[in-house]
């Protein structure tokens, strides 16, 4: 039996796991979390331990399914399909213009897969490809860039163990990040504070829970800033040496006295003072946020209001501190750097030196490189629906389920002239009547690198061998590049390791410089957090940024970013009195459930129909009980049926629905943060009507 250390490619923790494999039968016999790995040290969750359930996945044949000219579906082989895709992409671009083709990618592929996909679509084919990271991390990315000058989350997971005051804002790690939760639990000397409208699983296990009114977080943090400034409880030395625009911020937050904050946030004056004392008396205060902040009409500014408070308090670069954004998908951090969507492989698209450097590394003409960021996800879907985009290639994402206001994705699917789906399953909701289905092998048969939430690069090592007719995502993309005749890719991007080396060269001299890391060296290792420039010795397994107080802006100072709080575009009204809050339901369920439905244990305990939680008082008023059915009507004009669960854990005017059922996003709106264009998934307003037993 062979032991192979690889990683779990679900959530952003990137746990390392030891797979015990019967090589003769090419079967995984057991999976154990890797002892001593600095992230998850011998512990993991049900999703990772169940990765052996993905041994078969796409049923035979393992070759592409193509809709032929006569309308029949056939399996004409990989080479035929690659040629067909190349021909169709070229034809559509020639007929309607380059941007008539678009791609939607993901935060769940390897760094090498993002890189080659971006180089094909954004550089060579001169068009747009956005990722589902837009639905997830875009707000944190923009907040970091504007405040720090670069998208560089500074913490390491050990900070959870070193902090004496941990504040979780719109984050539910008991369900969504079990390792974050495990590490919080290991910290015996802390106070745990949760700010969440809902009494989430994490809030129930916290020392303090502040049930804030949905989407009023920026008002809360502006008010806290004002109070700390008034009391002169701030770190003048840090502010002076390491920040810009303090005087303006001080003026701005004067508009947020605690009485007003209390009114807006629904938190009492006693609660606000208690929270203030907790922060003031903490020695090592850390703040962590996730989707409760990122998914909003005012997300970037809300994230920055947290950053601003930590800047005021000088809580940067020291053990157990920081304004820390928790990432969602296994390689969202890799996608942010290397997908070529928001930056030129980690550089400014417009910087001449950067363009010359990247072109030189890729051995391509500078003109080939994309000139600016991609069009965002919503513009791609709108482009299809208004007839300007005619062809779409989606990979490793399931937007018919996960996209906000998801009926608009169905409309888009119906309009496309050419639609390619690349997935490990041939029955996801987004398949529709796609023209080409490209079956990729799952992570346990792939190789490449991932970057976790604390900037740690680690290796995905093939655990099982592929069948001769199976291909992984990288090979599929390389095959398409070859059919398109993209010579620099054909010559220089042959393997994942080639691509890794190109990206490593791109990283030189940048904040994420990992020229000191090698592809082979990452195998069976502890992983390495960026940066690690060539020639530096790795002294510590768990490192944080900003110890020197230097950021990535031209004068190396962080910037207070703020703005008057915008009106809520979806106010509660008589017609729509409830707030529709959405998120992760259980530890075992992953997003659209294409993968976790295979885990019998999870399937066995999960509801097979959509459900939502409503407050006891509402249920009583309507005479409803557990598992009765309601119809929910949303401000987006759609409605859907849900079974109800009755609880006191939601606010009386809140409905909470897990995202694992397609009906959930039938009701979410086409409303976005103005800077990040991330959807406001958690605050549609709705009404409910009794449906009766089903
Ligand atoms: N089991 C499981 N784990 C996962 C995933 C999964 O699908 N299943 N997905 C992964 C991914 S990609 C991501 S992005 C993460 C997401 O991880 P989380 O963000 O922790 O999970 P969510 O449930 O989306 O939302 C967190 C909380 O935000 C709260 N919230 C809503 N609105 C507000 C608000 O206005 N203010 C505040 N303060 N809080 C608010 C919600 O009530 C919810 O409890 O999880 C990752 N982990
Ligand atoms: N209402 C609401 N909606 C939300 C959210 C919310 O909080 N509320 N959260 C949003 C967030 S944060 C996220 S990240 C998105 C997630 O949304 P999606 O990315 O659409 O969800 P997944 O189910 O993770 O889809 C991944 C797909 O990739 C396939 N896949 C898995 N591994 C591989 C592989 O190696 N190769 C290929 N080619 N395919 C593979 C799976 O079978 C699956 O179909 O949902 C968003 N939607
Ligand atoms: S889903 Fe996340 S916490 Fe669970 S095993 Fe995988 S990486 Fe670890
Ligand atoms: Mo996410």
CA of 108 to the centre of ligand 4 (A): 10
pLDDT surpassing 90 at residue 602: no
Query: Which listed ligand is nearest to 10 at the C-alpha?
Result: 3
pLDDT surpassing 70 at residue 262: yes
Mutate to test the pocket of ligand 1, among 11, 49, 291, 305 (most ligand atoms within 8 A of CB): 291
Half-sphere exposure of 81 (CA within 13 A, CB side): 26
Q: What percent of the chain has pLDDT over 70?
A: 99
Contact by Cβ (8 Å): 583, 655: no
pTM: 0.98
Q: Which two tokens stand for residue 148?
A: 């720090």
pLDDT value for 246: 98
pLDDT value for 598: 85
Strand, helix or coil for residue 401: helix
Cis peptide before 531 (omega within 30 of 0): yes
CA 128, 131, 134 angle in degrees (round to 5)?
A: 110
* Nearest CA owner, ligand 3 atom 8: 15
Domains and CATH numbers, the chain: 2-55 (2.20.25.90), 65-135+331-529 (3.40.50.740), 138-325 (3.40.228.10), 578-692 (2.40.40.20)
pLDDT surpassing 70 at residue 477: yes
Mean pLDDT of 4-30: 96
pLDDT surpassing 80 at residue 214: yes
Average pLDDT, the chain: 97
Task: Render pLDDT for 292-307 as a digit per residue (tens, 0 to 9).
Answer: 999 999 999 999 999 9
Residue 132 to residue 135: CA distance in whole angstroms: 5
pLDDT value for 57: 63
Phi then psi dihedrals of residue 415, to 5 deg: -90, -20
Cis peptide before 362 (omega within 30 of 0): no
What band does 691 get if pLDDT is binned at 50, 70 and 90?
confident
Task: Render pLDDT for 78-133 as a digit per residue (tens, 0 to 9).
Answer: 999 999 999 999 999 999 999 999 999 999 999 999 999 999 999 999 999 999 99
Q: What dihedral do alpha carbons 324, 328, 329, 332 form, nearest 10°?
A: -40
Mean pLDDT of 434-450: 97
pLDDT surpassing 90 at residue 254: yes
Contact by Cβ (8 Å): 437, 431: yes
CA distances from 578 to 211, 438, 653 (A): 16, 42, 5
- Give the chain's radius of gyration (CA, Å): 25
pLDDT value for 56: 64
Atom of ligand 3 lying closest to residue 44 CA? 5
Residue 196 to residue 213: CA distance in whole angstroms: 8
Mean pLDDT of 509-535: 97
pLDDT value for 600: 85
Mutate to test the pocket of ligand 2, among 108, 116, 329 (most ligand atoms within 8 A of CB): 108
pLDDT value for 599: 87
What band does 692 get if pLDDT is binned at 50, 70 and 90?
low
Measured from CB, residues less than 6 Å from any atom of ligand 1 are 11, 136, 169-172, 175-177, 195-198, 200, 212, 214-215, 217, 290-292, 328-329, 581, 583-584, 587, 589-591, 682
Q: Which two tokens stand for residue 177?
A: 């990040």
CA of 407 to the centre of ligand 2 (A): 17
Task: Render pLDDT for 138-163 as a digit per residue (tens, 0 to 9).
Answer: 999 999 999 999 999 999 999 999 99
pLDDT surpassing 90 at residue 481: yes
Whether ligand 3 lies within 6 angstroms of the CB of 181 is answered as no
Task: Render pLDDT for 382-421 as a digit per residue (tens, 0 to 9).
Answer: 999 999 999 999 999 999 999 999 999 999 999 999 999 9
pLDDT value for 680: 98
Mean pLDDT of 224-241: 98
CA of 76 to the centre of ligand 1 (A): 42
Query: Which listed ligand is nearest to 664 at the C-alpha?
Result: 2
Q: Cα(first)–Cα(last) distance of the chain, in Å?
A: 51
Full DSSP string of 274-336:
HHHHHHHH-SSEEEEE-HHHHSSTTHHHHHHHHHHHHHHTT-SSSTT--EEEPP-BTTHHHHH
Question: 18 or 61, which is more confident?
Answer: 18
Mean pLDDT of 165-175: 98
pLDDT value for 53: 82
């Amino acid at each position: 039996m062979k032991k192979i250390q690889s990683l779990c490619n679900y959530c952003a923790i990137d746990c390392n796991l030891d797979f015990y494999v019967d090589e003769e039968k090419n079967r995984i016999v057991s999976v154990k979390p890797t002892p001593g790995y600095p992230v998850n040290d011998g512990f993991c969750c049900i999703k990772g331990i169940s990765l052996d359930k993905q041994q078969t996945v796409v049923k035979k044949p393992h070759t592409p399914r193509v809709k032929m000219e006569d309308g029949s579906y056939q399996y004409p082989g990989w080479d035929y399909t690659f040629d067909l895709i190349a021909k169709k992409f070229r034809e559509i671009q020639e007929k309607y213009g380059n941007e008539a083709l678009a791609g939607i990618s993901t935060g769940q592929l390897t760094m090498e897969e993002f890189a080659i996909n971006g180089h094909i679509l954004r550089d060579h084919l001169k068009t747009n490809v956005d990722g589902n990271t837009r639905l997830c991390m875009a707000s944190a990315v923009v907040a970091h860039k504007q405040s720090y000058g670069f998208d560089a989350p500074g913490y390491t997971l050990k900070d959870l163990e070193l902090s004496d005051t941990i504040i979780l804002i719109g984050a539910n790690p008991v369900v969504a990040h079990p390792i974050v939760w495990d590490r919080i639990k290991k910290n015996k000397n802390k106070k745990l504070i949760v700010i969440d409208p809902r009494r989430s699983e994490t809030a129930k296990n916290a020392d303090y829970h502040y049930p804030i009114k949905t989407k009023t977080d920026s008002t809360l943090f502006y008010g806290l800033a004002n109070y700390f400034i008034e009391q002169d409880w701030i770190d003048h030395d840090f502010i002076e040496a390491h920040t810009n625009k303090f005087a303006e911020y001080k003026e701005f937050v004067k508009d947020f006295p605690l009485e007003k904050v209390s009114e807006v946030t629904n938190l009492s004056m006693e609660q606000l003072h208690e929270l203030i004392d907790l922060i003031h008396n903490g020695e090592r205060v850390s703040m962590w946020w996730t989707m409760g902040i990122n998914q909003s009409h005012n997300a970037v500014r809300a994230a920055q209001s947290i950053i601003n408070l930590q800047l005021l308090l000088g809580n940067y670069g020291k053990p157990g501190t920081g304004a820390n954004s928790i990432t969602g998908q296994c390689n969202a951090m890799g996608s942010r750097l290397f997908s070529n969507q928001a930056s030129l492989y980690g550089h400014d698209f417009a910087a001449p030196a950067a363009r010359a450097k990247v072109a030189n590394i890729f051995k391509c003409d500078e003109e080939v490189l994309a000139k600016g960021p991609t069009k965002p996800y919503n513009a791609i879907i709108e482009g299809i629906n208004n007839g300007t985009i005619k062809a779409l290639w989606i990979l490793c994402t399931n937007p018919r389920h996960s996209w906000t206001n998801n009926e608009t994705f169905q409309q888009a699917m119906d309009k496309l002239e050419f639609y390619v789906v690349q997935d490990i399953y041939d029955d996801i909701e987004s398949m529709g009547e796609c023209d080409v289905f490209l079956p990729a092998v799952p992570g346990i048969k792939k190789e490449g690198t991932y970057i976790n939430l604390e900037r740690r690069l680690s290796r995905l090592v093939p655990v099982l061998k592929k069948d001769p007719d199976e291909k992984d995502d990288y090979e599929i993309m390389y095959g398409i590049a070859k059919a398109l005749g993209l010579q620099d890719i054909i010559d220089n991007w042959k393997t994942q390791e080639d691509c890794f080396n190109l990206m490593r060269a791109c990283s030189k001299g940048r904040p994420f410089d990992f020229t000191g890391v090698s592809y082979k060296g990452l195998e069976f290792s502890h992983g390495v957090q960026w940066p690690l420039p060539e020639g530096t010795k790795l002294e510590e397994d768990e490192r944080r940024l900003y110890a020197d107080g230097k950021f990535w802006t031209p004068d190396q100072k962080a910037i207070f970013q703020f703005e008057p709080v915008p009106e809520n575009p979806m106010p509660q009204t008589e017609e729509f009195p409830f707030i529709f809050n959405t998120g992760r339901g259980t530890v075992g369920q992953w997003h659209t459930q294409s993968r976790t439905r295979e885990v019998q244990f999870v399937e066995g305990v999960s509801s097979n129909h959509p459900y939502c939680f409503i407050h006891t008082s509402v249920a009583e008023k309507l005479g409803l009980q557990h598992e009765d059915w309601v119809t929910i009507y949303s401000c987006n004009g759609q409605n859907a049926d849900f079974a109800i669960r009755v609880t006191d854990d939601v606010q009386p005017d809140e409905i909470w629905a897990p995202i694992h059922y397609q009906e959930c996003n039938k009701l979410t709106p086409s409303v976005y943060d103005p800077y990040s264009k991330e959807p406001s998934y958690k605050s549609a307003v709705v009404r409910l009507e009794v449906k009766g037993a089903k």
